[in-house]
Amino acid sequence: MVNIRSQREIERIHDSSQVVYETLRSLEDYIKAGSTGKELDELAEEFIRSQGFVPAFKGYMGYPASLCISVNDEVVHGIPNCRRFQDGDIVSIDCGVVKDGYYGDSAWTFAVGQMDSETKKLLEVTESSLTIGIQQAIEGNHISDIGHSIQDYVEEFGFSVVRELVGHGIGTQLHEDPQIPNFGDPGCGVELKAGMCLAVEPMVNLGGKEIYTKADGWTVCTRDGKPSAHFEHTIVVTKNGAKILSNGVMNG
Protein backbone atom coordinates (compact mmCIF):
# COMPACT_ATOMS: atom_id res chain seq x y z
CA MET A 1 0.00 0.00 0.00
CA VAL A 2 1.25 3.48 -0.88
CA ASN A 3 0.56 5.98 1.89
CA ILE A 4 -0.71 9.52 1.46
CA ARG A 5 0.61 11.54 4.39
CA SER A 6 -1.17 14.36 6.21
CA GLN A 7 0.51 17.73 6.67
CA ARG A 8 1.29 16.83 10.28
CA GLU A 9 2.90 13.57 9.21
CA ILE A 10 4.92 15.38 6.54
CA GLU A 11 6.18 17.79 9.19
CA ARG A 12 7.36 14.87 11.33
CA ILE A 13 9.09 13.22 8.38
CA HIS A 14 10.68 16.58 7.65
CA ASP A 15 11.90 16.87 11.25
CA SER A 16 13.65 13.50 10.99
CA SER A 17 14.98 14.30 7.52
CA GLN A 18 16.41 17.59 8.74
CA VAL A 19 18.35 15.83 11.49
CA VAL A 20 19.75 13.49 8.83
CA TYR A 21 20.84 16.55 6.85
CA GLU A 22 22.42 18.13 9.93
CA THR A 23 24.18 14.87 10.78
CA LEU A 24 25.76 14.61 7.33
CA ARG A 25 26.82 18.25 7.42
CA SER A 26 28.33 17.78 10.89
CA LEU A 27 30.63 15.07 9.52
CA GLU A 28 32.08 17.01 6.58
CA ASP A 29 35.18 18.31 8.39
CA TYR A 30 36.04 14.77 9.54
CA ILE A 31 35.89 13.18 6.07
CA LYS A 32 39.60 13.48 5.36
CA ALA A 33 42.71 11.37 4.95
CA GLY A 34 43.47 9.49 8.17
CA SER A 35 39.90 9.41 9.47
CA THR A 36 37.97 6.15 9.71
CA GLY A 37 34.40 5.13 9.10
CA LYS A 38 34.18 3.87 12.65
CA GLU A 39 35.04 7.34 13.96
CA LEU A 40 32.39 8.94 11.74
CA ASP A 41 29.80 6.43 12.90
CA GLU A 42 30.47 7.22 16.55
CA LEU A 43 30.26 10.97 15.90
CA ALA A 44 27.01 10.56 13.99
CA GLU A 45 25.33 8.46 16.66
CA GLU A 46 26.34 10.93 19.37
CA PHE A 47 24.96 13.85 17.33
CA ILE A 48 21.69 12.10 16.43
CA ARG A 49 20.96 11.15 20.03
CA SER A 50 21.90 14.63 21.25
CA GLN A 51 19.06 15.97 19.08
CA GLY A 52 16.55 13.61 20.70
CA PHE A 53 16.39 11.24 17.72
CA VAL A 54 17.41 7.61 17.25
CA PRO A 55 19.64 6.13 14.51
CA ALA A 56 17.25 4.26 12.22
CA PHE A 57 19.80 1.86 10.73
CA LYS A 58 21.31 0.50 13.94
CA GLY A 59 19.72 -2.88 14.59
CA TYR A 60 17.59 -2.71 11.41
CA MET A 61 17.51 -6.32 10.15
CA GLY A 62 20.60 -6.85 12.30
CA TYR A 63 22.68 -4.02 10.83
CA PRO A 64 25.42 -3.15 13.36
CA ALA A 65 25.99 0.59 12.89
CA SER A 66 24.28 4.00 12.72
CA LEU A 67 25.64 4.86 9.27
CA CYS A 68 26.28 2.97 6.07
CA ILE A 69 29.74 4.04 4.89
CA SER A 70 30.77 2.79 1.44
CA VAL A 71 34.21 3.58 0.01
CA ASN A 72 35.27 3.64 -3.66
CA ASP A 73 33.91 0.46 -5.32
CA GLU A 74 31.44 -0.13 -2.47
CA VAL A 75 28.00 0.87 -3.72
CA VAL A 76 25.94 0.87 -0.51
CA HIS A 77 25.55 -0.74 2.93
CA GLY A 78 29.23 -0.63 3.83
CA ILE A 79 29.79 -1.31 7.54
CA PRO A 80 31.93 1.40 9.22
CA ASN A 81 35.39 0.03 10.06
CA CYS A 82 38.88 1.12 11.10
CA ARG A 83 40.35 1.46 7.60
CA ARG A 84 41.80 4.97 7.27
CA PHE A 85 40.62 7.10 4.38
CA GLN A 86 43.24 8.04 1.79
CA ASP A 87 43.53 10.96 -0.62
CA GLY A 88 41.53 10.17 -3.72
CA ASP A 89 38.93 8.02 -1.95
CA ILE A 90 35.23 8.68 -2.36
CA VAL A 91 33.09 8.01 0.69
CA SER A 92 29.34 7.47 0.47
CA ILE A 93 27.51 8.06 3.75
CA ASP A 94 23.89 6.94 4.11
CA CYS A 95 22.06 8.05 7.25
CA GLY A 96 18.59 7.47 8.64
CA VAL A 97 16.92 8.62 11.85
CA VAL A 98 13.57 8.15 13.55
CA LYS A 99 11.56 9.97 16.19
CA ASP A 100 8.00 9.33 17.34
CA GLY A 101 7.67 6.67 14.64
CA TYR A 102 8.60 8.87 11.65
CA TYR A 103 11.71 8.37 9.54
CA GLY A 104 14.13 10.45 7.47
CA ASP A 105 16.78 9.12 5.09
CA SER A 106 19.49 10.72 2.96
CA ALA A 107 22.89 9.92 1.48
CA TRP A 108 25.79 11.87 0.06
CA THR A 109 29.10 10.91 -1.55
CA PHE A 110 32.12 12.91 -0.41
CA ALA A 111 35.61 13.28 -1.86
CA VAL A 112 38.72 12.79 0.26
CA GLY A 113 41.35 15.16 -1.08
CA GLN A 114 41.73 15.36 -4.86
CA MET A 115 39.91 12.97 -7.18
CA ASP A 116 40.86 12.04 -10.70
CA SER A 117 38.74 13.76 -13.36
CA GLU A 118 36.71 10.66 -14.21
CA THR A 119 35.64 10.05 -10.61
CA LYS A 120 34.89 13.75 -10.14
CA LYS A 121 32.58 13.57 -13.14
CA LEU A 122 30.88 10.49 -11.66
CA LEU A 123 30.00 12.41 -8.50
CA GLU A 124 28.79 15.44 -10.44
CA VAL A 125 26.58 13.36 -12.72
CA THR A 126 25.14 11.26 -9.91
CA GLU A 127 24.25 14.33 -7.85
CA SER A 128 22.69 15.98 -10.89
CA SER A 129 20.73 12.81 -11.69
CA LEU A 130 19.15 12.99 -8.24
CA THR A 131 17.95 16.52 -8.99
CA ILE A 132 16.64 15.44 -12.39
CA GLY A 133 14.80 12.48 -10.88
CA ILE A 134 13.21 14.62 -8.18
CA GLN A 135 11.98 17.04 -10.84
CA GLN A 136 9.84 14.21 -12.23
CA ALA A 137 8.11 13.63 -8.87
CA ILE A 138 5.04 15.57 -9.97
CA GLU A 139 1.44 14.67 -9.19
CA GLY A 140 0.08 12.78 -12.20
CA ASN A 141 3.45 11.40 -13.27
CA HIS A 142 4.37 7.80 -12.58
CA ILE A 143 7.09 6.21 -10.44
CA SER A 144 8.95 5.06 -13.55
CA ASP A 145 9.25 8.66 -14.79
CA ILE A 146 11.70 9.26 -11.95
CA GLY A 147 13.91 6.29 -12.80
CA HIS A 148 13.70 6.80 -16.55
CA SER A 149 14.95 10.37 -16.26
CA ILE A 150 17.84 9.25 -14.01
CA GLN A 151 18.88 6.43 -16.33
CA ASP A 152 18.59 8.56 -19.46
CA TYR A 153 20.81 11.28 -17.98
CA VAL A 154 23.42 8.96 -16.43
CA GLU A 155 23.90 6.87 -19.55
CA GLU A 156 24.59 9.97 -21.64
CA PHE A 157 27.94 10.08 -19.82
CA GLY A 158 28.74 6.40 -20.23
CA PHE A 159 27.99 5.53 -16.60
CA SER A 160 25.56 2.82 -15.45
CA VAL A 161 22.79 2.62 -12.87
CA VAL A 162 22.50 -0.27 -10.44
CA ARG A 163 19.44 -2.42 -11.13
CA GLU A 164 19.08 -4.56 -8.00
CA LEU A 165 18.86 -1.67 -5.50
CA VAL A 166 16.11 0.94 -5.53
CA GLY A 167 14.65 3.96 -3.80
CA HIS A 168 11.51 3.58 -1.71
CA GLY A 169 8.59 5.11 0.06
CA ILE A 170 9.25 6.35 3.59
CA GLY A 171 7.21 7.45 6.58
CA THR A 172 6.27 5.29 9.54
CA GLN A 173 8.65 2.65 8.24
CA LEU A 174 12.13 3.14 6.84
CA HIS A 175 11.24 1.24 3.67
CA GLU A 176 7.68 1.42 2.36
CA ASP A 177 5.94 1.02 -0.98
CA PRO A 178 6.47 2.02 -3.69
CA GLN A 179 9.87 0.83 -4.86
CA ILE A 180 11.61 3.43 -7.04
CA PRO A 181 14.02 1.92 -9.58
CA ASN A 182 16.61 4.21 -11.15
CA PHE A 183 15.89 2.87 -14.64
CA GLY A 184 12.99 1.84 -16.82
CA ASP A 185 10.43 3.04 -19.33
CA PRO A 186 8.40 6.18 -18.62
CA GLY A 187 4.72 6.17 -17.75
CA CYS A 188 4.70 2.93 -15.75
CA GLY A 189 3.98 1.93 -12.19
CA VAL A 190 2.22 3.81 -9.40
CA GLU A 191 0.76 7.19 -10.25
CA LEU A 192 2.21 9.92 -8.07
CA LYS A 193 -0.15 11.80 -5.78
CA ALA A 194 0.30 14.74 -3.43
CA GLY A 195 1.30 13.59 0.05
CA MET A 196 3.46 10.66 -1.02
CA CYS A 197 6.83 10.68 0.76
CA LEU A 198 9.66 9.07 -1.17
CA ALA A 199 13.38 8.43 -0.84
CA VAL A 200 14.92 8.90 -4.27
CA GLU A 201 18.45 7.51 -4.45
CA PRO A 202 20.42 6.97 -7.66
CA MET A 203 23.35 4.57 -7.31
CA VAL A 204 25.65 5.08 -10.27
CA ASN A 205 28.72 3.08 -11.31
CA LEU A 206 31.70 4.38 -13.24
CA GLY A 207 31.89 1.05 -15.06
CA GLY A 208 29.35 -1.72 -15.51
CA LYS A 209 26.09 -2.10 -13.64
CA GLU A 210 26.92 -5.53 -12.19
CA ILE A 211 27.31 -5.82 -8.41
CA TYR A 212 27.95 -8.42 -5.72
CA THR A 213 27.67 -8.59 -1.92
CA LYS A 214 30.72 -9.18 0.28
CA ALA A 215 30.98 -12.03 2.76
CA ASP A 216 29.80 -9.71 5.57
CA GLY A 217 26.32 -10.02 4.07
CA TRP A 218 25.86 -6.25 3.78
CA THR A 219 28.48 -4.44 1.69
CA VAL A 220 27.48 -4.21 -1.97
CA CYS A 221 30.35 -3.64 -4.44
CA THR A 222 30.78 -3.12 -8.16
CA ARG A 223 31.69 -6.33 -9.94
CA ASP A 224 34.44 -4.66 -11.98
CA GLY A 225 35.99 -2.86 -8.98
CA LYS A 226 35.35 0.62 -10.39
CA PRO A 227 33.98 3.43 -8.17
CA SER A 228 30.30 3.98 -7.43
CA ALA A 229 28.47 7.08 -6.16
CA HIS A 230 25.23 7.36 -4.19
CA PHE A 231 23.07 10.41 -3.48
CA GLU A 232 19.65 10.38 -1.80
CA HIS A 233 16.97 12.78 -0.62
CA THR A 234 13.67 12.27 1.18
CA ILE A 235 10.97 14.21 -0.67
CA VAL A 236 7.23 14.79 -0.61
CA VAL A 237 5.11 15.02 -3.74
CA THR A 238 2.90 18.14 -3.84
CA LYS A 239 0.47 19.58 -6.36
CA ASN A 240 3.23 22.01 -7.37
CA GLY A 241 6.05 19.48 -7.70
CA ALA A 242 8.37 17.87 -5.18
CA LYS A 243 9.67 19.38 -1.97
CA ILE A 244 12.98 18.13 -0.61
CA LEU A 245 12.67 17.36 3.10
CA SER A 246 16.29 16.38 3.75
CA ASN A 247 18.14 19.57 2.83
CA GLY A 248 17.47 21.58 5.97
CA VAL A 249 14.55 23.64 4.72
CA MET A 250 11.02 23.13 3.44
CA ASN A 251 11.73 24.38 -0.06
CA GLY A 252 9.89 24.10 -3.31
Q: Can you tell me the distance from the alpha carbon of 202 to that of 56, in angstroms, rounded to the nearest whole number?
A: 20
Q: 72 in a domain, yes or no?
A: yes
Q: Can you tell me the distance from the alpha carbon of 162 to that of 160, in angstroms, rounded to the nearest whole number?
A: 7
Q: Can you tell me the distance from the alpha carbon of 35 to that of 82, in angstroms, rounded to the nearest whole number?
A: 9
More confident position, 245 or 252: 245
Q: 189 in a domain, yes or no?
A: yes
Q: Please write the tens of the pLDDT for every residue from 21-63.
A: 999 999 999 999 999 999 999 999 999 999 999 999 999 999 9
Query: The domain that contains 60 carries what CATH number?
Result: 3.90.230.10
Q: 233 in a domain, yes or no?
A: yes
pTM: 0.96
Q: Please write the tens of the pLDDT for every residue from 93-114.
A: 999 999 999 999 999 999 999 9
**Mean predicted lDDT score pLDDT of the chain:** 96
Task: Give the pLDDT of residue 248.
Answer: 61
Q: Please write the tens of the pLDDT for every residue from 141-176.
A: 999 999 999 999 999 999 999 999 999 999 999 999
Q: 2 in a domain, yes or no?
A: no
* C-beta of residue 156 within 8 angstroms of C-beta of residue 115: no
Task: Give the pLDDT of residue 209.
Answer: 98
**In which domain, by residue range, is 56 found?**
7-244
Q: 250 in a domain, yes or no?
A: no
Q: Is the pLDDT of residue 185 over 60?
A: yes
Q: Is the pLDDT of residue 189 over 90?
A: yes
Q: Are strands 90-99 and 54-55 parallel, antiparallel or unpaired?
A: antiparallel
* C-beta of residue 169 within 8 angstroms of C-beta of residue 106: no
Q: Is the pLDDT of residue 252 over 90?
A: no
